[in-house]
């Protein structure tokens, strides 16, 4: 690669207006390691975004890196459609041994196109084929991707508006807490499911995230998740947990639903499953529902071979024992404490999320945006989420050292102080 500094003019000249993160983080990145990204001027940034949870093990993990280089260097297959390859076999064996078997999951693995949206589309197809029904129940503030099938399930009106067509075959229900803490929203779901004149067509699936990453770090309670799982079963619907953002350790366990003790019929994974940030997506499906025909859902890049290499290392390295989970637990507490300090500065601020998927609802998107912008100036990459972008969200690599985590939190808190001084709160 050229050592010459990149001229940003090319982006303005040739990259589509649809580009987005580069607008908030306006520099040119050159390299990245662990929890840090380095731009071409050599400035280092602590990464509290982690590729939107695609880099749970940080950037360029040395073991994955070494395995990937070795694979490439020896002319390992780079693209093999969905043929059998040695590296796919090894990934499956490792995933079976360290992830599925210890959790008593007999799910099959379906490699979809290497995006989360593609995995969600496949999951919805499976549920519709299994049940012969078309309606998928999804939830307020859910985010499942922006291809047309997945987009129907996504709540965000900005993304929905991009479709240019009506988005159908879903029914929207209120997520846990949507109507305040005193209202159990499963009561409404139950009523709609049991009433033959409710107007809700019999569902093929109930599709949800246990923590809504894009939706504002809303975390469903264990009791709510259990009740939804029971209602799905009662209604003859498949339960699909979209664990694309909350899975792969983000909430503390490999799957985000382990704590709730539920057994989803289908699970979608993407983002951090490759371990290295490489495109990869998959669907876990119980054997009795594994009825898609050969290539019925297909795609040229289903099964990214390079990703199998790094994913295998990631699972072996981080999920053979519980040390990472211990780290996550400790770091989650560090984050909670940091965020409490932040929340204390903002009237009516609320802590959101769980595990290493936490944030603070500061009440308005303008303030949250200013805090993140100020933090970036000070060397911290962090973004907002929620329907009004009102939640400052931390998605640091799970492997971020405690000290770097503390440093990042300090930058964030200082940024908030800088901004809040000049901010006029609604209540004032």
Q: Coil, helix or strand for 425? A: coil
Q: From the CB of 181, what's the least distance to its own copies, in Å?
A: 13
Q: Note whether 279 binds its own copies by CB under 8 A.
A: yes
- Between 251 and 338, whose beta carbon lies closer to its own copies? 251
Binding residue (CB under 8 A) for its own copies from 247, 249, 252, 299: 299
Instruction: Quickly list H helices, 144-266.
Output: 148-153, 157-161, 186-194, 222-234
Q: Note whether 207 binds its own copies by CB under 8 A.
A: no
DSSP-derived secondary structure for 108-154: EEEE-SSSHHHHHHHHHHHHHHHHS--EEEEETT----SSHHHHHH-
Both tokens assigned to 208: 């949800």
Task: Give the C-alpha separation, 52 to 328, whole Å.
Answer: 17
- Between 263 and 336, whose beta carbon lies closer to its own copies? 263
Choose among 248, 274, 328, 331: nearest CA to 61: 274
Both tokens assigned to 401: 């050292």
DSSP assignment, residue 271?
G
- Between 38 and 345, whose beta carbon lies closer to its own copies? 38
Task: Give the C-alpha separation, 108 to 379, whole Å.
Answer: 42
Binding mask 324-363 for its own copies (x = CB under 8 A): ----------------------------------------
Instruction: Quickly list H helices, 209-275.
Output: 222-234
Q: From the CB of 114, what's the least distance to its own copies, in Å?
A: 5
Q: Note whether 138 binds its own copies by CB under 8 A.
A: yes
Binding residue (CB under 8 A) for its own copies from 63, 169, 316, 417: 169
- Residues numbered 308-327 forming contacts with its own copies, rule: CB under 8 A: none
The upper half-sphere exposure of residue 142, i.e. CA atoms within 13 Å in the direction of its Cβ, equals 33
Binding mask 4-33 for its own copies (x = CB under 8 A): --xxx-xx-xxxxxxxxxxx-xxxxxxxxx
Q: From the CB of 228, what's the least distance to its own copies, in Å?
A: 16
Q: From the CB of 55, what's the least distance to its own copies, in Å?
A: 6
The length of the chain in residues reads 428
Q: Note whether 41 binds its own copies by CB under 8 A.
A: no
- Residues numbered 92-131 forming contacts with its own copies, rule: CB under 8 A: 92-93, 95-96, 100, 108-111, 113-118, 121-122, 124-125, 127-129
- Residues numbered 367-396 forming contacts with its own copies, rule: CB under 8 A: 386-388
Q: Are strands 135-139 and 203-208 parallel, antiparallel or unpaired?
A: parallel
Binding residue (CB under 8 A) for its own copies from 46, 48, 123, 155: 155
């Amino acid at each position: 690669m050229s050592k010459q500094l990149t001229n940003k003019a090319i982006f303005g000249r040739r990259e589509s207006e649809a580009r987005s993160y580069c607008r908030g983080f306006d520099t040119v990145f050159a390299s990245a390691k662990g929890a840090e990204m380095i731009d071409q001027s050599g400035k280092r940034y602590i990464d509290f975004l982690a590729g939107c949870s695609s880099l749970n093990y940080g950037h360029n993990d040395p073991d994955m890196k070494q395995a990937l280089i070795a694979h490439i260097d020896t002319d390992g297959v780079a693209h093999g459609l969905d043929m059998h390859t040695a590296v796919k076999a090894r990934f499956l064996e490792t995933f079976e041994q360290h992830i599925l078997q210890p959790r008593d999951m007999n799910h099959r693995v379906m490699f979809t196109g290497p995006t989360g949206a593609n995995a969600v589309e496949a999951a919805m197809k499976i549920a519709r084929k299994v049940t012969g029904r078309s309606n998928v129940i999804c939830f307020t503030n859910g985010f499942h991707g922006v291809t047309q099938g997945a987009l129907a399930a996504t709540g965000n009106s900005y993304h929905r508006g991009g479709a240019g067509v009506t988005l159908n075959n879903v029914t929207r229900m209120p997520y846990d807490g949507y109507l305040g803490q005193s209202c159990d929203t499963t009561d409404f779901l139950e009523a709609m499911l049991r009433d033959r004149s409710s107007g809700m067509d019999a569902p093929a699936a109930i599709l949800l995230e246990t923590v809504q990453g894009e939706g504002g770090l809303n975390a469903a309670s264990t009791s709510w998740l259990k009740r939804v799982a029971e209602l799905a079963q009662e209604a003859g619907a498949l339960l699909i947990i979209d664990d694309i953002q909350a899975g792969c350790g983000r909430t503390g366990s490999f799957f985000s639903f382990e704590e709730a003790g539920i057994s989803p019929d289908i699970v979608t994974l993407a983002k951090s499953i490759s371990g290295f940030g490489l495109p990869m997506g998959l669907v876990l499906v119980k054997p009795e529902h594994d009825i898609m025909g050969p290539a019925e859902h297909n795609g040229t890049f289903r099964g990214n071979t390079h990703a199998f290499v790094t994913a295998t290392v990631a699972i072996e390295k981080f999920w053979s024992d519980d040390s990472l989970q211990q780290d996550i637990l400790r770091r989650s507490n560090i984050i909670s404490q940091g965020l409490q300090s932040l929340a204390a500065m903002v009237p009516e601020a609320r802590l959101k999320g769980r595990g290493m998927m936490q944030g603070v609802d500061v009440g308005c998107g303008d303030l949250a945006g200013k805090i993140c912008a100020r933090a970036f100036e000070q060397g911290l990459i962090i973004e907002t989420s929620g329907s009004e972008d009102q939640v400052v969200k931390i998605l640091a690599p799970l492997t971020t050292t405690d000290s770097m985590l503390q440093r990042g939190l300090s930058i964030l808190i200082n940024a908030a102080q800088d901004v809040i001084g000049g901010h006029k709160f609604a209540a004032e």
